[in-house]
Structure 1
Amino acid sequence: MPHLYLVDGSGYIFRAYHRLPPLTNKHGEPVGAVYGYTTMLWKLADDLHKADGPTHMAVILDKSSTTFRNQMYDQYKAHRPPPPEDLVPQFPMIRDATRAFSLPCIEEEGWEADDLIASYAKAAMAQGWQVTIVSSDKDLMQLVEDGSLDMLDTMNNRRIGEAEVVEKFGVGPKQLGDVLALMGDSVDNVPGVPGVGPKTAAKLIQEHGDVEGVLAAAPEMKKGKLKDNLIEHAEAARMSRRLVALACDVPLQVPLDDLMLQGIPDAPLRAFLDHHGFKSLMNRLGQVADAPVPENASVPLEEDPPCDHAAYETVVDEAALDRWVQVARHQGWIAIDTETTGTDATRADLVGVSMALHPNLACYVPLGHGGNDLLSETPVQLDRNLALAKLKPLFEDPAVLKIGHNLKYDMVVLGRCGIDVAPHDDTIVMSFDLDAGLHGHGMDELAATHLSHSCIAYKDVVGTGKSQRGFHEIDLDAATRYAAEDADVTYRLWKRFKARLPAEGATRVYEMVDRPLVPVIARMERRGIKIDREKLSALSADFAGQLATLETTIHGLAGAPFTIGSPKQLGDVLFEQMGVKGGRKGKSGVYSTDVNELTRIAADKDSPGAEIAARVLDWRELAKLKNTYTDALQDEINPETGRVHTSYSLTGAQTGRLSSTEPNLQNIPIRTETGRQIRDAFVAEPGNVILAADYSQIELRLAAHMADVPQLRDAFANGDDIHSLTAMELFGEVNRDTRGRAKTINFAILYGISRWGLAGRLDVSADEAQGMIDRYFDRFPGIRNYIATTTEFVREKGFTQTLFGRKTHFPRIRSKLQHERQGAERAAINAPIQGTSADIIKRAMVRMEPALAEAGLGHVRMLLQVHDELVFELPEGDVEAAKPVIERVMATAAEPAVVLSVPLAVEIGTGASWGAAH
């Protein structure tokens, strides 16, 4: 019997777009959705081929936003925002992808994809065909008919029949349209009846049969809001019923017989993948014999079998755990992952551990499952202490490699259980060292990109909103599928990345910089830093007073109160009420009041809005500091430790710098009084002091070395003031003004600043700024040569490199849009310098603890890393002994891998607080 599969392509497109970050192909075109759509379509084809595959198939798409329903009701889908700007150019490419698989791509003006699907489905069933709709769209569930038509929800890997529709909506497919009409749809702007949700709608239809039956019965219902709404909105309900009804008689532009599958010809798919540079998919297709092989290409790996969730084991007895430990010790490696009660590794409780030895050879060891109340049933699982006692020797065994994804998190969790995980490999760091700048490095994205696999979503396991449960409340079968998949996918990714590291020149930075840093960061996160809550509270109150004063001032300047935090109200005050010139509106029709716009207005002293713009900038900065730090930090204090434990990301900044979150300690202002006041709240324990060690002008020093600038090298070697030197070179004299300008120019040039950007910073004309840039390059030609060679290299190769070999990719360097190209060039100019600086401080962090221990200072604890600074806590009596050790480690961190032609200077300060240490 013919079996027709109808793929809801529009659903695939938006799933693909939101699942992957912005990606660009080798032509500079956005292709994130294209790549995701292609992998999803390929996976569907594979899965169906291995199962009871289709004989006929088509992808159905929406062609236009206006259909017959808009003529029926002009507000239909009126509230839907336009598709994202970077998605629009991908629509034609997605159609190309469909045709590359030699699948019909059907769309028609004036009709929604749902109507085309319904019409093809009904026509096929009329001929006795079996039909499957690949979608989870509730509107299409009206078509489900056991024995003839079902749905395939690929997101949750399940089939939807009549029983599943009843389970979800309380009625069968034939009455579903009536339920949908009563409840309405805010996304499509189907009005429905106010106050009627899914449960009420289902109850009404169960009792009265259909919408007309409900409306006829409404006058006899008991008094209340439901009765009133049904009577008042009867016509809206009738119209909603017509809106949700599917058109099943659209003429078929492609005959059913033409949808027969003929196999996927190799050539069009290969041409499509090659055009967009989808290398991993091209490898999956297989290289033809005479295809060019990239230089240093790694040996192709044998294709892994698809993830088989049914093969995963739930380990609930001692003998089974012993078996897994024994096999892992025998083979010498194991992928591991932890499941916990939360995302904060320093507070969350361990719920279970998953492990993988080979593809599909994975297990989950539940340790803390069970409900939150006395009546909840606790499943059979191993005693936590017994299981950890058996896992500890394995996870600490120096002969067994532990493989994890973002292993730092697991190290913190297991460290709190007394387990010190070592040795290790971390796939999130491997991915970053290979592909920084190309895509994100989360497991779901990497699985889709490298394995063409769609991981089980966490929200699909625990739920969302009010119905969300903790992972410890999930039944063991579902928990095993999710957790063991994480370990399985981690192992599969590790095999690929391990082979690529040497082939693509990334072993050096991975082994010498990033991999050894993972446990160092884990220990720093567990230590945290003490916060003076009373000082923060007082500072919050002070900031609140200052904000109130600023609000009064701003309202006085405006002539009336308004909401300062509202961009719309502020824009109206500045550009409509006060008549400020040069305002620009965005797509929403609201004037831009971002920091650049306000800075522009404040700088124009003749502008009627100059004063108010300046005060709003002050208000925003103070409000941000209050909300982000003085208020929020109090909530971040761990009740068990009394300290704040920030979380560091080794992949958060494209150039390799560490970033921190929850709380973010990287953005506390460095040189302002308010920033110092906030730092004063970071304090040492009694008897201890805070020590801050900061690289002095490290990026300028690296620029002097990497750009080979003799004047700068000599100045640093002699300990001269580099900004005074630049001022003398550019302006012929050194005073406060020329030195300040020279300092701005020194740093701005390294960030590839334009003449207009420099003009804005120095408050001069663009021609004056260009003159300064020209003089700078004349005095320091090495910098100009460095910029030229760096931009030429990145245009040719697509990436930059640090002195330690860290690659940062800039795919937008080949963009057809000028502003994207120029933005990529500016970022690329600084990336080798900032990246090398990041590599050096990371190497210092890795060496610091062994050096301190060797000097008998093992109790000196490294707590924070912020940009070019390391923060320690140590006994007051050990300061003089620790200073030279810390300075030596930081000053020589690049060696012996890289020998610099300039010295690295380190400034060290101490005090009772972080602020006092500066």
Structure 2
Amino acid sequence: MESENGVKRKLILIDGYSLLFRAFFAGQALTTSDKRPTGALYGLANMLLSVLQSDKPDAIMVCWDAHAPTFREQEFIDYKAHRPSAAPELKEQMPVARQLVSAFGIPCVELAGYEADDIIGTLAHKGKAEGYQVIVITGDSDQLQLVDDHRVIVEITQRGVSERKAYDRQAVYDRYGVWPEQIPDFKALTGDASDNIPGVPGIGEKTAAKLLQQFGTLENLLEHLDQVTPPRIQQALKEAKEQALFSKRLATIVCDVPLEVEIVPYSPSEADWQRVRAIFRDLEFRSLLARIPQPSSPLAAREEEAPEERFDVAYRPIRDAAALKHALEVVKTKGRVAIRLELEGDAPLDAKLRGVAFAVEETEGENGGFKPSSYYVAIQEPEAIGGLWSFGEGGASDQEGGYVASLQELEPLFNASGIRRLVYQAKQVLIVLQRHGVRPLPFDFDVQIAAYLLDAGRSAYPLMDIAETYLRRRLELEDAFAPAERLMVEAGAILALEQPLERQLETNGMTKVFYEIEMPLVPVLAAIEQHGLLVDVDYLSVLSQKMAEQIAKIAAEIYELAGMEFNIGSPKQLQEVLFNKLQLPRGKKTKTGYSTGADLLEQLAPRYEIARKILEYREMAKLKATYADALVRLVRPDTHRVHTSLNQTITSTGRLSSSDPNLQNIPIRSEVGRQIRRAFIAPNGYKLLSCDYSQIELRVLAHVSDDPTLIQAFLNDEDIHAATAATVFGVEVAQVTPEQRRLAKTINFAVIYGQSAFSLAATLGVETGVAHEWIQAYFARLPGVKRYIEEIKELAHRQGWVQTLFGRRRYLPDLHSGNHQIRQAAERAAINMPIQGTAADIMKLAMIRVYHHLNAREDCALLLQVHDELLFEVKEEEIEACVAEIVPLMQEAYPLKVPLKVDAKVGTDWANMENVTSPLPKR
């Protein structure tokens, strides 16, 4: 079956639940305003739109697992039995997922007794027979066995569901060393842990591939066991012969399921798109609405979209050099421009620049309304030179007759003085432009950062959502898949958003935070991300092996304590061992049994060694996977460094967060955390310099509480934790033991975080009554702190929000929750946010001051901000000078009633650092 132009028609088969699961675990935990979980649904909807846009299928179907036992489960009771039950938040999204797919007009296919794999296999064979090119989209590698020359391609989702890797026959062989049709034989030998298929004990992937390269099939292998070497493998096959054959049956996809389904052309109607629009609105997927084609009927559009109008711009695509020159003159005349980049790829360190849209307030709409003029110009394909991009002179035309410019021609847009520049995601824009050889002047306004400040409790800030909230307009197009028009609309929206956002910032008292902290921080973060951190790859390889041995040792200790071996990572088996066999105290009951989470284990750890060991096992396994193994993969080949992303719009307190890799979560004081930090090193001729604020949150607490005792202790440069220990335990400061100081330190920070006596008792492993007495003794010594806590809770209940010293707000709607636990959590946030948020603001001010100071030096670079610490890379001979300059800049970042103090350390790696003399803080 071919289209009119002779191209083979395309059938796409989607593994519904596989992609839904991947979207759930890879995406954000999104919810609607009425608290319905939607993260997995958002990922699925986004993927469907992308498939329709990029693949343009002639037919498309989504296959699901039916809610009934399959023939595999009937034959093998343990098939997939070890898999934990789906999280309640995911289960709630499953039925809606089918409704979502059906709204697109895409057939949903399932059959009781069979898995989605079997449905896909059957439809793939049917599609081949009918002349389709078949593309299977899944997150399950089992389906690679369906690959068949170029008639069936399997695309495995990568990084959630946003990227896909295509497998033809050769790609399957390159990955496994066997051909697609040998995959069932391969899994029969190796087993499949994800499906609980047993396989043959002792045979791994390399051995299985060699055997199948020699013998072809499992059956032929078993018939010629006398030719198998070494003897150990031969014996393993003899002992597990029947198990191997049974495993192959379980692993083989059935391709003749009795389906009564026809493959029909996919041609969505206007009614389909209206249903998609309706379900997107119900799920609050505002950012996806613009990707839905608009109904062609004006009446239908008016009826469907009556509540809000579509955002409108005057489209002005650049057709030649003269038009570009004129557009840039308009920008200079108007003095205000919004810029939007067209990127290929999302990661700013890798994204290629394909086009630029920019908007100015040039014309008026009907009745004098605001209507921006938006320009678009394609950018010439660059060549990479020395890590940057080199462009030609421009002047070509693209396939649609538009002008293709070089970035040099657009320099006035980014660098001309006297122009106010507005963007969305300023850090990303800055990094991309700098990588492409442009050094733009600072951006003046970022609508994403402004929206974040105005509502810091949200999980994300898509431009579509911001426009709907503050403009009451939808960023939708006549053609949802027209990139130039989309970019022009978005540039126009950025321009229109500045005034309402700025008015709201002023109303909320956050203009200072925006213009003096967040916007100046953008180039600082961009510089940090592009510089990266050097890591010792060889050391990490050795560390990974050592950690694997340590994990095995801890597991053996757990087995000895349990009196049996079991899967430590299985909640179900852990429940059986801890609560049934060992009779440990149980915590709260969940849908899958009693909780084995960290909260319970931490409560049990002081009394039960097995709980301590399980926590140790989990931490070691997590750190091995997250750092020892992952850091090596994250080293960029062009820089030989790791480049973390510092996220500016994630936390509700104003703190920065770190991702890819997350360097905030490396334990600071544990030995395994030190081993991870040891991997970050200085290059030859340089050293790492750590400048760490000492007890900054307690100093902020002294300032906001105005407690005279706490203030005087800091003015006297006393050991705050020892002083607290002396009060709580009734001893002289000189007699405080290290253990008492450790307990007092926990109490100090428990107060900041609003912990209850019950929670503190669980943390310290003492009785609740004892913890209560300690807290009361603390408040008796520091009545100003107690007064602050009572006043801030009362203020938060009265106005619904709290703020930092700089005016950064956090809204706390859960203060009025009918649920006591939720309300208490909101009260703890009300106590903590002004302290932690102020400390975060001070750190950001310090980063800005230090960054601008270091711009004049080539021998010192800011590498990272993590917690209360700044990490630098400094030439060895300049250490003393840099310490003398940086420490005062940090200590004088903001005047408190007590001095800020910074401790400086130097070393060749991040773990092994020695104290250096630093200037004392001014008083």
Q: Is the 8 A contact 1:528 1:646 kept in 2?
A: yes
- Residues 907 and 194 (structure 1), Cα distance of their counterparts in 2 relative to 1, 3 Å cut: closer
1:326 is aligned with what amino acid?
E
1:793 is aligned with what amino acid?
L
What is the match of residue 405 of structure 1? 424
What is the match of residue 727 of structure 1? 725
What is the match of residue 437 of structure 1? 457
1:481 is aligned with what amino acid?
E
Moved more, 539-548 or 829-838: 539-548
Structure 1 residue 797 displacement after superposition: 1.1
Q: Is the 8 A contact 1:400 1:423 kept in 2?
A: no
What is the match of residue 641 of structure 1? 639
What is the match of residue 126 of structure 2? 200
1:793 aligns with 2:795: yes
User: Which secondary structure state, in structure 2, belongs to the residue aligned with residue 515 of structure 1?
Assistant: helix
Structure 1 residue 742 displacement after superposition: 1.1
User: Which secondary structure state, in structure 2, belongs to the residue aligned with residue 196 of structure 1?
Assistant: helix
What is the match of residue 809 of structure 1? 811
Q: Is the 8 A contact 1:438 1:810 kept in 2?
A: no
What is the match of residue 415 of structure 1? 434
1:552 aligns with 2:556: yes
1:903 aligns with 2:891: no
Alignment of 1:489-638 (within 5 A): 489-587=493-591, 589-604=592-607, 610-638=608-636
Q: Is the 8 A contact 1:312 1:480 kept in 2?
A: no
Alignment of 1:199-278 (within 5 A): 200=126, 234=258, 237=259
1:321 aligns with 2:247: no
User: Which secondary structure state, in structure 1, belongs to the residue aligned with residue 785 of structure 2?
Assistant: helix
Take 2:718 and 2:790, find their aligned partners in 1: how far apart are those partners? Answer: 28
Q: Is the 8 A contact 2:728 2:777 kept in 1?
A: yes
Take 2:697 and 2:542, find their aligned partners in 1: how far apart are those partners? Answer: 37
- Residues 891 and 917 (structure 1), Cα distance of their counterparts in 2 relative to 1, 3 Å cut: same
More RCO (CA 8 Å, sep 6+): 1
Alignment of 1:848-859 (within 5 A): 848-853=850-855, 857-859=857-859
Structure 1 residue 87 displacement after superposition: 12
What is the match of residue 448 of structure 2? 428
Structure 1 residue 397 displacement after superposition: 2.1
Structure 1 residue 672 displacement after superposition: 1.6
1:331 aligns with 2:315: no
Take 1:87 and 1:794, find their aligned partners in 2: how far apart are those partners? Answer: 35
Take 1:315 and 1:552, find their aligned partners in 2: how far apart are those partners? Answer: 68
1:654 is aligned with what amino acid?
S
Alignment of 1:85-234 (within 5 A): 138=102, 183-184=109-110, 195-197=121-123, 200=126, 234=258
Structure 1 residue 572 displacement after superposition: 2.2
Using the size of structure 2 for normalisation, the TM-score is 0.65
- Residues 455 and 630 (structure 1), Cα distance of their counterparts in 2 relative to 1, 3 Å cut: farther
- Residues 766 and 352 (structure 1), Cα distance of their counterparts in 2 relative to 1, 3 Å cut: same
Take 1:808 and 1:664, find their aligned partners in 2: how far apart are those partners? Answer: 24
Q: Is the 8 A contact 2:532 2:644 kept in 1?
A: yes
1:694 aligns with 2:706: no
Take 1:886 and 1:230, find their aligned partners in 2: how far apart are those partners? Answer: 67
User: Which secondary structure state, in structure 1, belongs to the residue aligned with residue 406 of structure 2?
Assistant: helix
Structure 1 residue 232 displacement after superposition: 8.1
Take 2:402 and 2:533, find their aligned partners in 1: how far apart are those partners? Answer: 36
Matched residue count: 668
- Residues 866 and 186 (structure 1), Cα distance of their counterparts in 2 relative to 1, 3 Å cut: farther
User: Which secondary structure state, in structure 2, belongs to the residue aligned with residue 197 of structure 1?
Assistant: helix
Alignment of 1:467-478 (within 5 A): 478=482
1:446 aligns with 2:466: yes
2:378 is aligned with what amino acid?
P
Unaligned runs of 5+ in 1: 1-13, 38-68, 91-111, 115-134, 141-152, 154-159, 161-167, 169-175, 207-223, 242-302, 371-376, 462-476, 605-609
Take 1:735 and 1:84, find their aligned partners in 2: how far apart are those partners? Answer: 47
Alignment of 1:661-680 (within 5 A): 661-680=659-678
Structure 1 residue 354 displacement after superposition: 2.2
User: Which secondary structure state, in structure 2, belongs to the residue aligned with residue 402 of structure 1?
Assistant: strand
1:188-238, CA deviations, whole angstroms, 9 ceiling, x for partnerless residues? 9999967332783797799xxxxxxxxxxxxxxxxx99xx9999865xx46
Structure 1 residue 795 displacement after superposition: 0.8
1:389 aligns with 2:408: yes
- Residues 315 and 83 (structure 1), Cα distance of their counterparts in 2 relative to 1, 3 Å cut: farther
What is the match of residue 373 of structure 2? 361
1:292-323, CA deviations, whole angstroms, 9 ceiling, x for partnerless residues? xxxxxxxxxxx9962348x5444353223223
1:892 aligns with 2:892: yes
Take 1:367 and 1:421, find their aligned partners in 2: how far apart are those partners? Answer: 17
Take 1:845 and 1:113, find their aligned partners in 2: how far apart are those partners? Answer: 46
2:816 is aligned with what amino acid?
R
What is the match of residue 287 of structure 1? none
Q: Is the 8 A contact 2:603 2:765 kept in 1?
A: no
1:697-740, CA deviations, whole angstroms, 9 ceiling, x for partnerless residues? 00011101110111111111111111111111221112223222
> Aligned match of 1:480 in 480, 484, 487?
484
Take 1:902 and 1:347, find their aligned partners in 2: how far apart are those partners? Answer: 45
1:654-696, CA deviations, whole angstroms, 9 ceiling, x for partnerless residues? 1000111111111111112222222222112211111110000
1:331-381, CA deviations, whole angstroms, 9 ceiling, x for partnerless residues? 1121112233322212222222222224453233222679xxxxxx97468
What is the match of residue 350 of structure 1? 353
User: Which secondary structure state, in structure 2, belongs to the residue aligned with residue 603 of structure 1?
Assistant: coil
Structure 1 residue 478 displacement after superposition: 2.1
Q: What's the Cα RMSD here?
A: 4.3
1:414 is aligned with what amino acid?
L
Take 1:669 and 1:681, find their aligned partners in 2: how far apart are those partners? Answer: 14
1:114-166, CA deviations, whole angstroms, 9 ceiling, x for partnerless residues? 9xxxxxxxxxxxxxxxxxxxx9764x7xxxxxxxxxxxx6xxxxxx8xxxxxx
Structure 1 residue 563 displacement after superposition: 2.3
Unaligned runs of 5+ in 2: 1-19, 43-66, 74-82, 133-180, 185-251, 263-306, 362-370, 383-396, 915-923
- Residues 577 and 884 (structure 1), Cα distance of their counterparts in 2 relative to 1, 3 Å cut: same
1:887 is aligned with what amino acid?
V
Q: Is the 8 A contact 1:184 1:192 kept in 2?
A: no
Q: Is the 8 A contact 1:30 1:86 kept in 2?
A: no
Take 1:545 and 1:229, find their aligned partners in 2: how far apart are those partners? Answer: 37
Alignment of 1:706-745 (within 5 A): 706-733=704-731, 734-745=736-747
Q: Is the 8 A contact 1:716 1:903 kept in 2?
A: yes
Take 1:418 and 1:590, find their aligned partners in 2: how far apart are those partners? Answer: 57
Using the size of structure 1 for normalisation, the TM-score is 0.66
What is the match of residue 299 of structure 2? none
Q: Is the 8 A contact 1:803 1:836 kept in 2?
A: yes
Take 2:87 and 2:642, find their aligned partners in 1: how far apart are those partners? Answer: 41
- Residues 501 and 187 (structure 1), Cα distance of their counterparts in 2 relative to 1, 3 Å cut: farther
Take 2:120 and 2:409, find their aligned partners in 1: how far apart are those partners? Answer: 58
Q: Is the 8 A contact 2:354 2:378 kept in 1?
A: yes
Take 2:850 and 2:689, find their aligned partners in 1: how far apart are those partners? Answer: 14
- Once the two structures are aligned, what percentage of the paired residues are identical? 37
1:757-780, CA deviations, whole angstroms, 9 ceiling, x for partnerless residues? 011122221111111111211111
> Aligned match of 1:915 in 893, 911, 914?
911
User: Which secondary structure state, in structure 2, belongs to the residue aligned with residue 682 of structure 1?
Assistant: coil
2:760 is aligned with what amino acid?
L
User: Which secondary structure state, in structure 2, belongs to the residue aligned with residue 828 of structure 1?
Assistant: helix
1:713 is aligned with what amino acid?
I
Q: Is the 8 A contact 1:525 1:648 kept in 2?
A: yes
